[in-house]
Amino acid sequence: MRVGLIGKKIGSSSHFEENGIVTPITLVKIEECIVSKIKTKDQDGYNAVQIASIEDNLKLNKVNKPQRKIFTSLEINPKRILKEFRVEEDNLLKVGSVIDISHFQTGQIVDVTGTSIGKGFAGAMKRHNFGGLFASHGVSVSHRSHGSTGNHQDPGKVFKGKKMAGHMGAKKITKQNLKIMEIDLENQVMFIKGSIPGRKNSIVLIKDAFKKRNNKK
């Protein structure tokens, strides 16, 4: 596995191919990614590369001391996002290396991780796609309720993980095996087929597809 990239979701659009096929795509802006730290199996127990990205005019006195030490040693402006990617030993990079969008190629299959849009408190029908109760036959007021949640006296409790109403969204989600339709080197924008989790201007992580890699072996 190689190191991934940190990007910012900037919106959705359509991709027109030469044969006339229209494909829905998501546009991701790749910010400057700098290798801020590496971890080795001998010293840390595993191999990983830490990437720093997304500047956002962050001041040095607004970050914690460990991160401040990293940015000072690299002589770069503070970055808002620090993300660690597990890699193989052969793919370890030098601290201070800069990775841009050319790290990936058009047609490559990738996994994209982001935070889904928060929906707040949602009922069982919206959250878990329940059908709801009858519209008639004695049912009143509680048409969108989830119905009974517990059992009889034995076990006399509601089991953990029961599908009920509650907070919906705002979770870390990874969409796998997405195809890169096109790469704009000049504007550092990546066109990814389909939808990816998160709202506009949210942070996403792009890395080599894990399942596709395993299937090739």
pLDDT at residue 204 tops 90: yes
| pLDDT-based confidence at residue 213 (cuts at 50, 70, 90) | low
Rounded Cα distance, 151 and 140, in Å:
23
- When pLDDT is cut at 50, 70 and 90, the band that residue 214 belongs to is low
What is the average pLDDT value for the chain, to the nearest integer? 90
Q: What is the pLDDT of residues 70-127, one digit of tens each?
A: 888 888 888 888 999 999 888 888 888 899 899 999 999 999 999 999 999 999 999 9
Span 5-119+172-216 CATH architecture: Beta Barrel (2.40)
Length of the chain: 217
pLDDT at 137 over 50: yes
Res 123: pLDDT: 94
What is the DSSP annotation of 33-47? Answer: EEEEEEE-HHHHSS-
Cα separation, 120 vs 112, whole angstroms:
23
The pLDDT of residue 216 is above 60: no
**Of 113, 91, 109, the residue nearest 1 (C-alpha):** 91
List the domain boundaries for the chain: 5-119+172-216, 120-168
The strand pair at 22-30 and 189-193 is best described as antiparallel
- Using the predicted structure, report yes or no on whether residue 194 has a pLDDT greater than 50: yes
d(CA 173, CA 185): 27
Decide if 168 contacts 119 (C-beta within 8 A). Answer: yes
User: Where do the H-state alpha helices sit in 57-158?
Assistant: 65-74, 124-128
The answer to whether 157 and 150 are in contact (CB under 8 A) is yes
The tens digit of pLDDT for each residue in 64-78 reads: 888 888 888 888 888
Output the pLDDT for position 197: 93
Report phi then psi at 214, rounded to 5. Answer: -70, -35
Alpha-carbon span 21 to 95, nearest angstrom: 43
**Average pLDDT value for residue range 131-139:** 90
Tell me what the mean pLDDT of segment 178-191 comes to: 93
pLDDT of residue 148: 86
**What tens digit of pLDDT does each residue of 148-164 get?**
888 888 888 899 999 99
Residue pLDDT, tens place only, 1-53: 899 999 999 999 999 988 888 999 999 999 889 999 899 998 899 999 999 98
Encoded tokens for 190: 């990546």
